[in-house]
Chain A
Amino acid sequence: MRNPQSQGQLSASGELVHLLTLEGLPREIIVRILDTAGSFLGVTEREVKKVPLLRGLSVFNVFFENSTRTRTTFEIAAKRLSADVINLNVSTSSTAKGETLLDTVDNLSAMHADMFVVRHAQSGAAHLIARHVGPERHVINAGDGRHAQPTQGLLDAYTIRHYKKEFGGLTVAIVGDILHSRVARSLIHVLNILGTPEVRVIGPQTLLPSGVESLGVRVHHDMRKGLAGVDVVVMLRLQNERMRGALLPSAQEFFKYYGLTPDKLALAKPDAIVMHPGPMNRGIEIDSAVADGPHSVILPQVTFGIAVRMAVMSILGGGQRSAS
């Protein structure tokens, strides 16, 4: 394979310069991000909910794919670090005007953006941008096509660590549309890096990508069997489009066989936790009784998400400590 280091996330000395994907990240860096996130949680309980770390730095949220939720969490995280935040919803019409993705990035760099948070409908967009920007700028991938959502994977790992302490003995099940899910891919990578012994994916054949086992997971088509003895259940959102395109016949049949209901959840361990990246489709992938029930940690995930994003930005935003 050519260019093994063309990932470009790490500097020559192994420091994180961009966060593009969790794949291939050293375990120490992931643990450091999680540990640092823990330190930020206390900040929100104070009178002044900010720290001055990124004061004077500009964070540009460059969203080629719309998402108010994700954009807002990045905005909150950046502001809590005292950064200046600029939000850009780059609609496809500006590309219709002829401006390429890299032209847009160049223009923003000329406006002295220090950090780009990028979301794009195409897999690989964040990598392309990171290869292109100069060394002083940092790119955070907020989601590229089906490929990766690294901050989501990190906050999911943080959540699991918060409730389960160790990854060493866990069985984690990811349920739903893995084929189209960047959240699933990032989560699978981080779970493997942190040493989770068993990661299961549960879904119909149509929603599982070719050779998914090669990512380091066990495949189950039967949700009841797949949830047996599981410590963590992660439910993925099912998009409406899946019903077109011959992947699924109906939301009802999907819910019956792959929706998380109390009786299916009962097959997991008694202290199992239920996670969801949001936003939830109640009654399609998850029953309200479960979403609002005692096993659900879906709301804490959001709080952890802000702390994790603060951790990522603060690790990226500073200078590079020299080898001394």
Chain B
Amino acid sequence: MQLPDAEALCAELVKKLRPAVTAATGMVGIHTGGAWLAERLHRELGLQLPLGRLDISFYRDDYRKLGLHKSVRASQIPFDVADRRLLLVDDVLYTGRTVRAAMNELFDYGRPESIRLVALIDRGERQLPICADCCGATLAVPKGKMLRLDRNDAGRLSLRLDDA
């Protein structure tokens, strides 16, 4: 199937987000794809606060069944979360469980004033009441496939379809 151009969608997001950002805006990307996207957005939007990155492995709801994820990265939020307006960035919004875990983790850092969810693609099939505040495109993904964001050595973003 034809996949949208990630670079173009990214430019769209930058345009949509620019009016809302201030010097106090905090951005947090969810590893791995969300963090890549956030790095790009953070740079393009010229955000002042350094970028935060979250690894949600310790907050997933499937730990009891599947165990700890094989490679865990450190989460880093290099700014104060308390009373902060946050932009939470993920590449593909799907069941909503990743965002649920990310929000739980964010709240363990402090109480933000608000969290707005930014996603490159919304593929639907939500299992929790979560929606993106700012989205590049919606896309129906065939059963048994996973949509992933790629970043090549030159930093170019692209979308990829894998078997689940």
A and B touch in the complex (CB under 8 A): yes
CB < 8 Å neighbour of A36 from B68, B104, B110? B68
Q: How close is B108's CB to chain A, nearest CB, in angstroms?
A: 4
Chain A proximity of B112: nearest CB distance (Å):
12
A47: B residues at CB distance < 8 A: 81-82, 108-110
Within 8 A of A (CB), among B76-94: 76, 81-82
A residues contacting the other copy or chain, number (CB 8 A): 23
A320 to B64, CA, bound (A): 8
- Give the size of the chain B interface in residues (CB under 8 angstroms): 25
> Nearest residue in A to B104 (C-beta to C-beta)?
A52
Q: Are A53 and B58 in contact (CB under 8 A)?
A: yes
Is residue B140 within 8 Å, beta carbon to beta carbon, of the partner chain?
no
A39 adjacent to chain B (CB < 8 Å): yes
Residue pair A319, B109 in contact (C-beta under 8 Å): no
Q: Does B75 contact A (CB under 8 A)?
A: yes
| B63 CB contact (under 8 Å) in A15, A39, A319 | A319
Closest to B105 in A: A51
* Residues in A whose Cβ lies below 8 Å from that of B76: 42
A45 to chain B, nearest CB (A): 10
Provided the pairs A41-B74, A48-B109 are in contact, do residues A319 and B67 lie with their beta carbons within 8 angstroms? Answer: yes
B98 interface hit (Cβ, 8 Å) = no
* Interchain CA distance A51-B75 in the complex, whole Å: 12
Q: Which residues from 47 to 70 on chain B have a C-beta closer than 8 Å to any C-beta of chain A?
A: 55, 57-59, 63-68, 70
Contacts known (A36-B72, A314-B68, A315-B68); A48 close to B108, Cβ less than 8 A: yes
A131 interface residue, CB < 8 Å from B? Answer: no
Please give me the residue from chain A that is nearest to B110 by CB atom: A47
Instruction: Evaluate contact between B67 and A50: CB separation under 8 angstroms.
Output: no
Q: Once the chains are docked, how many angstroms separate the CA of A80 from the CA of B74?
A: 16
> Does B104 lie within 8 Å of A39, measured CB to CB?
no
- The yes or no answer to B152 lying at the interface (CB within 8 A) is no
Query: CB distance A321 to B66 under 8 Å?
Result: yes
Tell me, in angstroms, the Cα distance from A39 to B71 when the chains sit together. 10
Q: Which residues does B use to contact A, with CB under 8 Å?
A: 55, 57-59, 63-68, 70-76, 81-82, 104-105, 107-110
Provide 22 A-B residue pairs closer than 8 Å at the C-beta atoms, listed in order of the A residue.
A35-B72, A39-B57, A39-B74, A42-B76, A47-B81, A47-B82, A51-B58, A51-B59, A51-B108, A52-B58, A52-B59, A53-B58, A314-B58, A315-B68, A317-B63, A317-B68, A318-B63, A318-B64, A318-B65, A319-B63, A319-B66, A321-B66
